[in-house]
Amino acid sequence: MADSSPEESMRVFARSTDPQTRLRVLLNLPTARAAHPQHLRELPGHTIASARTHPGEHIRRWAAAAERTSA
């Protein structure tokens, strides 16, 4: 995952049903939208929305941190 682009990582997160894979992907993504290229600025919002409702507490915490840095 570390060598993947942020765009591909967010797509892996969206497609994956494995909680460990989703967590690993999120932990390697920057939480600030400004850290992403302009053409990807909306994709983190979709990833955050999905993470916010995830059953895993670590993933929901990541979403909360991402929302704080994106505001």
Provide the CA 23 distance to its chain's centre, in angstroms. Answer: 9
**Residue 1 covered by a domain:** no
Q: How far apart are CA 21 and CA 32, in angstroms?
A: 21
Mean pLDDT across the stretch 7-32?
83
Q: In terms of pLDDT, which residue wins out, 50 or 32?
A: 50
Say if residue 27's pLDDT is above 70. yes
| Domains: count for the chain | 1
Residue 41 — pLDDT band, cuts 50, 70, 90? Answer: low
pTM of the predicted model, to two decimals? Answer: 0.60
Q: What is the DSSP letter of 2?
A: T
Owning domain of residue 52: 6-70
- The CA angle 64-68-70, to the nearest 5 degrees, is 115
At 71 the pLDDT is 58
**Residue 55 covered by a domain:** yes
